[in-house]
Amino acid sequence: MNRLSLSILLAAAGLASPLKGETRHTEPVTLHGYHPFREVAEAKDWPDRKEAIKTRSLLACGLLPLPEKTPLNAHRFGAVEQDGFKVERIYFESFPGHYVTGSLFTPTGESARLGLIEGKRPAVLCPHGHWKNGRLFDLAENNGEKAVKQQIAIGAERFEAAARNGIVARCVQLARMGCIAFAYDMIGEADSVQFAEHRRGPRPHMNGARPGTFGFVSPQATLRLQTNFGLQTWNSIRAVDFIESLEETDSDRLLVTGASGGGTQTMLLAAVDDRIDASFPCVMPSTAMQGGCTCENTHYLRIGQGNMDLAAAIAPKPLGMTAADDWTIELETKGYPDLKNLYQMLKAPNDYEAHFNIHFKHNYNHVSRTQMYDFVNRHFKLGLETPVLERNFTYLTRDDIGVWSDSVPKPDGYLSGDAHEKNLNRVWAEDAEAKFEIAKKDPAKRDWVRTGWETILRASDVKDTTATFELGEKSRNGDSVLMDGTITGNSSPFSAAIAYPATWNGEVLIQLHPSGASVAIENKLDAAVIIPDLYGQNDELAKNAPITYSGKSDPPADSWQRSPVYFYGYNDSVFVRRVHDLISTIAMAKQHPDWDVKKIKVHATGDLAAVALAANAIYPDAIDTLEVDPEDFQFTQIKDLWDDNMVPGAVRYGDVEGLKLIQ
């Protein structure tokens, strides 16, 4: 038995903890909470804040760094022409074997002479929200002819064709204004039939251990940050690649606009892709409900930021938005003033606007679309007379714009269902693995590993931790003074046991132990020994109550509402909280007014060794000696989404080896 193990003795009873009987568990943050915009003090602070939003968003999507952009192999066919526009059917591969489908609208006739600057025209990407079948939506089919007429009667629409499908209506009008417009399908909707469902929940048969054997909402996918939302965002990025590949596209006039879930994609694409020149998300940016679907949530996305921050990330480029009688109803007083102030601070007051159409329910109707057309007209210098109003068109059916049909066979090797989901996750995982192998060999190519871990661990939030110790009980054991008490630092207070020797050499040994501060200490060292209660240790409520759902309190076992994105998207994992507790413990020792600390040593084994490695990676100057042995612990061995050591993204960023790589 080594000297260290002799000094730490397990016993049936330890020092009484002042927190005994209490819990550190608090109600988790949820998508239904209040999510205000995080202001910056000065304009000079905005570039760093903007980059932080982009970095967190890319990481959350499993896109930091971006996967390899493989050939799109785009197909453009089946044109249908009406007055002033042409629509074509499109499909391309965002990942090898994964097809993005949609409709491309371009100007014809008199419209073709509009919008041109040096022979190039603006392009608009149009992601859709949760309208049934999206691009192929038909209000008459879903709700009857009366519903169509009602939209016209209340002033929401002018024409029946537009009332039946507002997604197509905006693309038709944009083409008639001289723009290229691309409406593309969200996964599991319209022609995106490789996924049978739009949403994903836990499915035991999709919980394989190796790439190629697991699907979304599984431990292995979570460890690699593979989610519906991340895939959809990658599809959007590849849609920009597609639109830029078109000869007529003006790459300096790219807009993205969508409503509801399409508004979420609008915000995200504009936040992460610098090629986007203007953004117009509708009925989504707000300080209230952040988006209920798994296509709108992913791990880490809304920790330290919310939808108003995401929408603002395009600033100072042009940004417009609309509100309705839904969760955006308070936008005028909550959110809008903050972004207005931001744009004024950035000396671009005319580049932000919001419209409060709260006499309408959730929508992207003609009123909102007209506001968007004016936005496009002004910022892309189309020179059209205002207001720009839609004119009628013949409703476009599935036969007119559907991609797949008997006459258009699916490509060779086309997969769908579970087989496709597993294969896609394999391709995605292997891309990250290949990048990590390069990083291992070349220190110049591993910054992304460090950035990934630092973002997961919220390094910037805890690097300047100030911590104190409040004494609870004190006793003697031989020549040592034994103390327990509470450490207060960058998180809620937690217990710690301390053994302070009569003859102290200025060294502090912080021991991470599976039993936490309940361990009895017999100190046979000249060092002061601290054993903290890391989050969840000796606190059953905190340890066992992490799960939150998107809405229902107890949805079915396979419900999409049980996706872990609804917890890890808004809250730190147990592992990250433990890292923060260790940092607070170190800070307390260094800052204790009565201690003249000369050296800090941290000792840990097994999974707690990973906690120590993580703390050292983001707080390296504070630890003088790190004595760790992970033994056989690996994140990839985790089989439960709610394991204490579940860290979404840990495997993507190299597992324990990745933590060692950035020491």
Amino acid type, 449: V
Report the distance separating Cα 365 and Cα 154, nearest Å: 11
- As a whole number of angstroms, the longest Cα–Cα distance in the chain is 96
pLDDT band at 13 (very low <50, low <70, confident <90, very high): very low
Query: Domain extents for the chain?
Result: 3-30+456-661, 80-431
221-271: pLDDT as tens digits? 999 999 999 999 999 999 999 999 999 999 999 999 999 999 999 999 999
Q: Which of 79, 134, 133, 129 is closest to 106 using CA atoms?
A: 79
- In which element (H, E) is residue 166 found? helix 166-176
Q: Give per-residue pLDDT as tens, 263-300.
A: 999 999 999 999 999 999 999 999 999 999 999 999 99
The tens digit of pLDDT for each residue in 292-338 reads 999 999 999 999 999 999 999 999 999 999 999 999 999 999 999 99
CATH topology of domain 3-30+456-661: Rossmann fold (3.40.50)
**H or E element at residue 278:** strand 278-282
**pLDDT of 16 above 70:** no
Q: Which of 611, 564, 561 is nearest to 586 (CA)?
A: 611
**Per-residue confidence band for 9, with pLDDT thresholds at 50, 70 and 90:** very low
What's the pLDDT tens digit per position in 117-134? 999 999 999 999 999 999
pLDDT digits (tens, 9 = 90+) for 382-433: 999 999 999 999 999 999 999 999 888 899 999 999 999 999 999 999 999 9
The confidence score (pLDDT) of residue 2 equals 34
| Owner of token pair 């039993």 | 515
Q: Which amino acid is located at 506 in the chain?
A: G
- Mean per-residue pLDDT for 151-176? 98
Superfamily of domain 80-431: Alpha/Beta hydrolase fold, catalytic domain (3.40.50.1820)
- Per-residue HEC secondary structure of 368-424 comes to HHHHHHHHHHHHCCCCCCCCCCCCCCCCCCHHHHCCCECCECCCCCCCCHHHHHHHH
197 or 40, which is more confident?
40
With b for 16 or more beta-carbon neighbours within 10 A and e for fewer, the 295-329 pattern comes to bbbbbbbbbebbbbbbbbbbbbbbbbbbbbebbbb
Is there a contact between 633 and 575 (Cβ–Cβ < 8 Å)?
no
Q: Residue 342 forms beta bridges with which residues?
A: none
What's the rounded Cα separation, in Å, for the pair 595 and 589?
Answer: 7
pLDDT, residue 21, reads 56
* Residue-level pLDDT at 20: 55
Report percent pLDDT > 90 for the chain.
89
Whether residue 55 contacts residue 590, with contact meaning beta carbons closer than 8 Å, is answered with: no
CA distance linking residue 444 with residue 463, whole number of Å? 24
Model confidence at 633, pLDDT cuts 50, 70, 90, reads very high
Torsion of CA 89, 92, 97, 101, to 10 degrees: -40
CB-side neighbour CA atoms (13 Å) of 432: 28
Beta bridge partners of 627: 603
For the stretch 74-119, pLDDT in tens is 999 999 999 999 999 999 999 999 999 999 999 999 999 999 999 9
Let me know if the fold of 3-30+456-661 is the same as that of 80-431: yes
Average pLDDT, the chain: 94
